[in-house]
Amino acid sequence: MKVLVVGGGAREHAIVKALVKSDAEIYSSMGNRNPGIADLAEKYIICKDTDVGTIVDFAQKESIELAVIGPEAPLGEGIVDELEKAGILCASPDEDAAQVEISKEFMRNLMKKNDLPGRVDYQVFDDIVNVEDFLSHYNGELAVKPVGLTGGKGVKVMGEHLDDKKEVINYCKKVLKEEIGGKSKVILEEKLIGEEYTLQVFTDGENVIPTPLVQDHKRLFEGDKGPNTGGMGSYSQADGLLPFVNEAVYKESIEIIKETLLAMKKIGRPYKGVLYGQFMLTPKGPRVVEFNCRWGDPEAMNILPLLKSDYLALCEAMAMGDISDMEAKFDTKASVCKYVVPEGYGIDPVPGNEIKVDEIKIEKAGAELFYASVDKKNDKIFTTTSRSLAVVGFAKTMEDAEQASERALSHIRGKNIHMRHDIGKPESIRKKVERMQEIRGEN
């Protein structure tokens, strides 16, 4: 089957690898020439992920039968609606359904109007005077978010990035004036305290097939310090849970996703594809931080390599709107993903440095390599301003998976590159478990 994959990141490299395992013939459109995807594709074009016209033309010319869209931006531009108009099946949501990620205002309103579990208190503003008025009566701590897309980098939280109400007001002014996220609107949310985790599901809008949980690490520096990034690495446990998430919380999170999907269907925006739930486990239970209308990056790299079932068949079933007789089986292995990024990534990145990658030694180390945003010139690989590549260690235990990821990193050399070694280390996991116990008042 001829399958188009849109996007040139490490997540899309993972999607492509999984589809190739199912014998798909890959066609790719990517913003940068990802060497991993380029090697596996029959054909690829280089264009912006949001250049819907060019991508649909390419898909029609190549008689593509099915499309999988990696990133959120083209979904927000209605790429699925256009591909479907051209008769191409899509295992991703249309523009109306993608609003669950594209507009945080839509998502919060949906949860409120339908009284969904896992929702949080929030208020949307388009005028700074109203923000000031609201803050003069509000005593708790807040998270401040642009309403639209910011690549995970627009959220600022009191006590972490913002010291006091004055700083909240200044950031709100900036979001409103500069239209950060594409709109002159800002959301103030109650600040959630707990540990975050990711639950990704396959869905046809009603039936849900959950995948193992993952914990991403958004902060740039070790010990979860520094600015938020697109994600510096992630881990998953062999049993599909996390060290601080038990079976009951996993089930509760699946239920929240199911109810959200039913609400989407009820309002005439049925959702198909992979739905990503970002949750915070708080003392009161799981709360929704956000939904994404696609696989997570890095989380896709933890999960897709473990999928034993036929990914292409799952994509086809989602695209056709019925996964009721499908299943997804996973290898019972832990995974630890670590990203290599250019020095200064997320602040003031230094691009253009060569990275030497020994692909064979990485594989021998028990890890997989996923290319992200790199330039390949004369068989050499150079950094850009975005994340460069990721390695993922897989093993029966988290300790062994983490060590495999470290062995893999030792086969990557370059100047001015940065990575977080702490991700998945026993010490770092122990701290998260202890923090969760402390928050829940269990010790």
| Contact footprint for ligand GLY (CB under 6 A) | 152, 216, 231, 292, 296-297, 299
Query: What part of residues 57-96 is at the interface with ligand AMP (CB under 6 A)?
Result: none
Q: Which stretch binds ligand AMP (CB under 6 A): 132-140, 150-158, 339-347, 415-423?
A: 150-158
Q: Is the Cβ of residue 289 or residue 334 nearer to ligand GLY in the bound state?
A: 289
| Of positions 37, 192, 214, 319, contacts ligand AMP by CB under 6 A | 192
Q: In the bound complex, which residue of the shown chain has the CB atom lying closest to ligand AMP? A: 143
Q: Is the Cβ of residue 34 or residue 215 nearer to ligand AMP in the bound state?
A: 215
Q: Is the Cβ of residue 82 or residue 299 nearer to ligand GLY in the bound state?
A: 299
Task: Determine if 103 is a binding residue for ligand AMP (CB under 6 A).
Answer: no
Cβ atoms of residues 342 and 416 within 8 Å: yes
**C-alpha dihedral (253, 257, 263, 264), degrees to nearest 10:** 160
**Helix H or strand E encompassing 5:** strand 2-6
Which residues are paired to 430 by β-bridges? none
Nearest distance, CB of residue 116 and ligand AMP, angstroms = 16
Measured from the Cβ of residue 324, the count of other Cβ atoms closer than 10 Å reads: 9
For ligand AMP (CB under 6 A), the number of binding residues is: 15
Task: Determine if 406 is a binding residue for ligand AMP (CB under 6 A).
Answer: no
Q: Which stretch binds ligand AMP (CB under 6 A): 23-31, 185-193, 399-407, 409-417?
A: 185-193
Task: Determine if 218 is a binding residue for ligand AMP (CB under 6 A).
Answer: yes
Task: Determine if 189 is a binding residue for ligand AMP (CB under 6 A).
Answer: yes
| Of positions 1, 116, 120, 135, contacts ligand AMP by CB under 6 A | 120
Task: Determine if 204 is a binding residue for ligand AMP (CB under 6 A).
Answer: no
Pairwise CA distance, residues 206 & 260, whole Å? 10
Q: How many residues does the chain have?
A: 443
Task: Determine if 278 is a binding residue for ligand AMP (CB under 6 A).
Answer: yes
Task: Determine if 191 is a binding residue for ligand AMP (CB under 6 A).
Answer: yes
Task: Determine if 157 is a binding residue for ligand AMP (CB under 6 A).
Answer: yes
Q: Say how many CA atoms lie within 13 Å of 135 toward its Cβ.
A: 22
Pairwise CA distance, residues 251 & 50, whole Å? 35
What is the per-residue binding string for ligand AMP in 228-267, x denoting contact by CB under 6 A? Answer: x---------------------------------------
Q: 304-310: list long-range contacts, CB under 8 Å, 24+ apart.
A: 304/14, 304/15, 304/17, 304/18, 305/14, 305/17, 305/18, 305/335, 305/368, 305/392, 305/394, 306/212, 306/236, 306/330, 306/331, 306/333, 306/335, 306/394, 307/18, 307/211, 310/22
Task: Determine if 289 is a binding residue for ligand AMP (CB under 6 A).
Answer: yes
Handedness of CA 60, 83, 46, 337 (dihedral sign): negative
What is the DSSP annotation of 79-99?
Answer: HHHHHHHTT-EESS--HHHHH
Instruction: Find which of ligand GLY, ligand AMP, none residue 297 binds, CB within 5 to 8 Å per kind.
Output: ligand GLY
Cβ neighbours of residue 73 closer than 8 Å, sequence gap 6 or more? 49, 50, 149
- The residues that touch ligand AMP, with contacts defined as CB under 6 A, are 120, 143, 145, 152, 155, 157, 189, 191-192, 196, 218, 228, 278, 289-290
